Structure 1
Amino acid sequence: MNFSVENLACRRGDVTVLTGVTFSVAEGEALVLRAPNGAGKTTLLRCLAGLTPPVSGALHFSPEDVAYAAHADGLKAQLSVEENLQFWADIFGTRDIAPAVDAFELSSLLSRRAQDLSAGQKRRLSLSRMVLTGRAIWALDEPTVSLDVENVARFSSAVTRHLAQGGSAVLATHIDLGLPTARTLDLSPFRAISQDAPSDDPFLDGAFQ
């Protein structure tokens, strides 16, 4: 899905942290956000997902087209992996959990409760929801936290598959995921506050949209 933002200003709390952000992302393309901590990567992703209204500017797409994954895993601890997946599949109307199970190799974990998973397993389960959303734009905030090298590769393959199917993605990550159609956007020129301002707070993030 092609989409763009124009002259966007975003705030964190009462403070405007980004101004004049303009970019476009083509169908099948990934845009990787780069900037120092606190520069506004999380704030921009939340704005794209409709969780934080922009101060000004234009979003040339609907937030309903965006699936957002942030720092928190957002799992239902007492439910099994399979029950968590089926819950999300039902919400998003996709029904079939097999694509998510296959993408993140969750078949051996289906009967385990989410609260009994390791940090890496919880992250895999959380990210697998992206496959079930059916949404064209993936907005991902440091998605590889807690993932080992093998599972970073699985995640990269899932994103690559999404792009090949006509989707697009915006990611804040310091890891080179090897995405074939990725380009980088440095947010530093759009910063509206100093480096000493409070950093993006993961505890304020919605886990998923």
Structure 2
Amino acid sequence: MPDSAPPLPLLAAQGLTFSRNDRPVFGPLDFSVDAGEALLVRGGNGAGKTTLLRVLAGLLRADAGSVEIDGRPARTALRAQAMAYLGHLPGLKADLTALENLRFLVGLHGLRRGQLVEQALGIVGLAGYEDAALRELSAGQKKRLSLARLWLSPAALWLLDEPYANLDLDGIELVNRMVQAQLRSGGAALVTTHGAYAAPPVRTRELVLAGGNGDDLAEATA
């Protein structure tokens, strides 16, 4: 019997290019992320890390190239189903409580099987803050609430832009545990960093953005 074909990558990008005001930001980039692994996106300030994640999430349009999810073109509906994006802004409503924010977002994006909204607050260290309005929370607590939203998402692919920012050592360890659990469940993660924080202790490859100079990609398996 012929050997079975290898599984398709969870995410694959080919020739991905983006420019702003006629100045190249990154690309062309070719990379992929398999289920069960993380891609660490490194680069200095202005290298295009945040822009790359926003392009992958469909928030910005690439100049050229393609993105596929499980071998299918990453159209809007498929991105919304398969991707969960954690950006620099919390993506939460200031007038709602912590619990109300999570319930609202679960209603929009769905709920990971076997999870409860209230339990997610405890997992991220916000037990007892269920009725606290978002505006009453510190920057670190808002980040933890955003992590609870991420944890509840059923998306297989996490796009994490500087996920360790505004977190103490316990928070950094929380992110690492969450990424480990995501990969164990067959998901994947893209994690941006400028090098100030350690990478999550998981199966990791690197995508190094040098910034618009034609030498954007260096990939290694760790």
Give the TM bin, normalised by the shorter chain. 0.7 to 0.9
Q: CA, structure 1 residues 13+111, in 2 after alignment: closer, same or farther (shift >3 Å)?
A: farther
Determine the structure 1 residue equivalent to 2:96.
79
Cα deviation, residue 103, structure 1: 2.9
TM-score normalized by the length of structure 1: 0.85
Deviations 1:176-203 (A, max 9, x none): 1332212221122xx3259xxxxxxxxx
**Distance (Å, rounded) in 2 between the aligned partners of 1:10 and 1:99:** 40
Identity %: 37
Aligned residue-pair number: 192
5+ long unaligned stretches in structure 1:
195-209
Determine the structure 1 residue equivalent to 2:13.
5
**Alpha-carbon contact 2:179-2:200 (below 8 Å) kept:** no
5+ long unaligned stretches in structure 2:
1-8, 215-222
**Distance (Å, rounded) in 2 between the aligned partners of 1:88 and 1:170:** 21
Whichever structure has more helix as a proportion of its residues is: 1
Q: CA, structure 1 residues 126+29, in 2 after alignment: closer, same or farther (shift >3 Å)?
A: same
1:70 alignment partner, one of 87, 90, 97: 87
Task: Map 1:171-186; keep pairs closer than 5 Å.
Answer: 171-173=191-193, 174=195, 175-186=197-208
Cα deviation, residue 96, structure 1: 3.2
Determine the structure 2 residue equivalent to 1:164.
184
Task: Report which structure shows greater RCO (CA 8 Å, sep ≥6).
Answer: 1
Determine the structure 1 residue equivalent to 2:5.
none
1:147 alignment partner, one of 163, 167, 174: 167
Determine the structure 1 residue equivalent to 2:218.
none
Deviations 1:62-113 (A, max 9, x none): 2232111111112211211111111111112228314522431222211211
**Distance (Å, rounded) in 2 between the aligned partners of 1:107 and 1:144:** 20
TM-score normalized by the length of structure 2: 0.80
Give the AA of the match of 2:98.
Answer: V
Q: CA RMSD in A?
A: 1.9
**Alpha-carbon contact 1:34-1:172 (below 8 Å) kept:** yes
1:60 alignment partner, one of 55, 63, 68: 68
1:126 aligns with 2:146: yes
**Alpha-carbon contact 2:102-2:117 (below 8 Å) kept:** yes
